[in-house]
């Protein structure tokens, strides 16, 4: 923003080089933005979110001249982008509502199972995906959140700002958010030592003791990444054994500064101004233990972003996932869905991309039969 506007002055502090400054300001998450000396924002934010914070969100009037979309995609992760590309390539009017471009992939440290790409990282992958989408005629509306969806003659999607977008079909690819461990101190110390993003915030914990809650692929990948920075990493897994792929388990057990604790039921995260300790109960012995540390990374899975679909006519299962068929169709005619918000058996980037393509093709097939 300061590059584009000479009236805005900006100082960037590299946390790894100016640790005294970071500690003095008690910064436990990056990026942290101070405006005129006061805390303004903490954690990753897009330029659209920063502008909204400063000037307020886009008004309802800014959407009043939108034509009826043939396909309106809700969500900007792998599934949504894949759906948008496939729809746009059919030459139909395609719109895309995006709250945070890239979704959960932006927090992914390393991706090693993308066929044809031995290694990449979440932000890099989504930058490439966005460049790909921009090659097509897609009306991308960033910084917007869907509030409700209903079916009349057309499908109507209402945004948080009150604007209503109309479409002949819609594809819901709203993804999921990190599941909370729901213990005392988790919310109190959010951005004060409790975080979900090892890639973003890991460097702030260099030379410190940290814990990773969760022994699945995400948790073990986070622990491996943090082991190269932290003094010691404790992995707390609720079950009797880790759930991560064996190749990841082999790597974690080979690291000398990592302790894996299974059968661990997290009880509380404690501290004063920031995290100072975590306590857990050994489910095998019922003994309670406390570990002194400064950071807690929660990696225990995802919750679908579907609360806004209640009473919409879009059927959800007991986990809140959108129920779809083999064509990506939902229970509401003309509405399709894809990705981590659905009852797909596995939540993987490559699977979400395929599901997005399926939903777009399903929507196109629906359109040509009307």
- Summarize pLDDT for 184-238 with one digit per residue, the tens: 999 999 989 999 988 788 989 999 999 999 999 999 999 999 999 999 999 999 9
Domain end position, chosen among 270, 298, 326: 298
Same domain, 144 and 231: no
The answer on pLDDT for 313 being more than 70 is yes
Q: How far apart are CA 298 and CA 76, in angstroms?
A: 23
Of 52, 61, 153, 197, which is the active-site residue?
Answer: 197
Kindly state whether residue 184 falls inside one of the protein's structural domains: no
- Summarize pLDDT for 233-277 with one digit per residue, the tens: 999 999 999 999 999 999 999 999 999 999 999 999 999 999 999
pLDDT, position 11: 78
Q: Would you place residue 25 in the very low, low, confident or very high pLDDT band (cuts 50, 70, 90)?
A: low
Same domain, 294 and 225: yes
Same domain, 121 and 220: no
pLDDT, position 50: 60
The answer on pLDDT for 37 being more than 80 is no
Kindly state whether residue 14 falls inside one of the protein's structural domains: no
341 is catalytic: no
Total number of domains constituting the chain: 3
The answer on pLDDT for 56 being more than 60 is no
Specify the range with the lowest mean pLDDT, choosing from 38-52, 253-267, 343-357. Answer: 38-52
**Nearest CA among 18, 15, 17, 10 for reference residue 40:** 10
Q: Would you place residue 44 in the very low, low, confident or very high pLDDT band (cuts 50, 70, 90)?
A: low
pLDDT, position 147: 97
Domain end position, chosen among 11, 36, 55: 55
pLDDT, position 26: 66
Same domain, 282 and 333: no
Q: How far apart are CA 19 and CA 90, in angstroms?
A: 52
197 is catalytic: yes
Pairing of strands 295-298, 194-195: parallel
- Summarize pLDDT for 68-82 with one digit per residue, the tens: 999 999 999 999 999
The answer on pLDDT for 61 being more than 70 is yes
Count Cβ atoms within 10 A of the Cβ of residue 89 and give its class: 0-12 exposed, 13-18 middle, 19 or more buried.
middle
Percent of the chain with pLDDT over 70: 89
Q: Would you place residue 317 in the very low, low, confident or very high pLDDT band (cuts 50, 70, 90)?
A: very high
Domain of 120: which CATH number? 3.50.50.60
Same domain, 201 and 168: no
The answer on pLDDT for 367 being more than 60 is yes
The boundaries of the domain holding residue 122 are 62-178+305-368
For residues 95 and 109, which has the higher predicted lDDT (pLDDT)? 95
Same domain, 108 and 88: yes
Same domain, 310 and 165: yes
pLDDT, position 197: 86
Average pLDDT over residues 280-289: 98
Average pLDDT over residues 175-183: 95
Kindly state whether residue 291 falls inside one of the protein's structural domains: yes
Same domain, 207 and 292: yes
pLDDT, position 46: 60
Same domain, 124 and 92: yes
Mean pLDDT (the chain) is 91
Kindly state whether residue 128 falls inside one of the protein's structural domains: yes
Same domain, 103 and 44: no
Q: How far apart are CA 18 and CA 36, in angstroms?
A: 20
Same domain, 164 and 270: no
Of 201, 209, 225, 340, which is the active-site residue?
Answer: 201
Kindly state whether residue 186 falls inside one of the protein's structural domains: no
Global pTM reads 0.78
Kindly state whether residue 121 falls inside one of the protein's structural domains: yes
User: At a CB cut-off of 8 Å and minimum separation 6, what does 370 contact?
Assistant: 168
Domain end position, chosen among 262, 279, 298: 298
Average pLDDT over residues 113-134: 95
Check if the beta carbon of residue 242 is closer than 8 Å to that of residue 266.
Answer: no
Same domain, 211 and 258: yes
């Amino acid at each position: 923003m300061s590059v584009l506007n000479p009236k805005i002055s900006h100082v960037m502090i590299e946390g790894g080089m100016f640790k005294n400054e970071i500690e003095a300001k008690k910064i436990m998450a990056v990026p942290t933005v101070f405006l005129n000396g006061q805390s303004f924002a903490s954690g990753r934010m897009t330029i659209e979110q920063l502008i909204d914070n400063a000037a307020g969100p886009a008004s309802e009037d800014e959407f009043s001249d939108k034509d009826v979309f043939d396909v309106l995609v809700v969500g900007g992760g792998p599934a949504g982008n894949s759906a948008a590309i496939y729809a746009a390539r059919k030459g139909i009017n395609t719109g895309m509502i995006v709250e945070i471009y890239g979704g959960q992939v932006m927090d992914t440290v390393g991706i090693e199972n993308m066929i044809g790409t031995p290694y990449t990282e979440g932000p890099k992958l989504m930058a490439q995906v966005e460049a790909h989408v921009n090659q097509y005629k897609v009306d991308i509306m960033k910084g917007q959140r869907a509030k409700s969806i209903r079916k009349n003659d057309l499908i109507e999607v209402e945004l948080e700002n009150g604007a209503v977008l109309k479409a002949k079909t819609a594809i819901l690819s709203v993804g999921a958010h990190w599941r909370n461990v729901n213990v005392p101190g988790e919310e109190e110390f959010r951005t004060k030592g409790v975080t979900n993003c090892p890639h973003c915030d890991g460097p702030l914990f260099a030379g410190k003791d940290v814990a990773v809650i969760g022994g699945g692929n995400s948790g073990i990948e986070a622990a491996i990444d943090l082991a190269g920075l932290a003094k010691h990493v404790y992995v707390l897994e609720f079950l009797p054994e880790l759930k991560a792929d064996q190749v990841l388990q082999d790597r974690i057990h080979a690291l000398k500064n990592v302790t894996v604790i299974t059968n661990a039921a997290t009880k509380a995260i404690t501290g004063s101004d920031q995290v100072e300790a975590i306590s857990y109960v050994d489910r095998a012995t019922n003994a309670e233990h406390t570990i002194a540390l400064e950071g807690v990374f929660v990696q225990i899975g995802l919750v679908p972003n579907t609360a806004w679909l209640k009473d919409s006519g879009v059927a959800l299962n007991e986990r809140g996932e959108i129920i779809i068929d083999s064509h990506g169709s939902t229970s509401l005619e003309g509405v399709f869905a894809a990705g981590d918000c659905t009852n797909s058996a596995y939540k993987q980037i490559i699977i979400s991309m395929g599901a997005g393509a399926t939903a777009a093709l399903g929507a196109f097939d629906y359109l040509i039969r009307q």
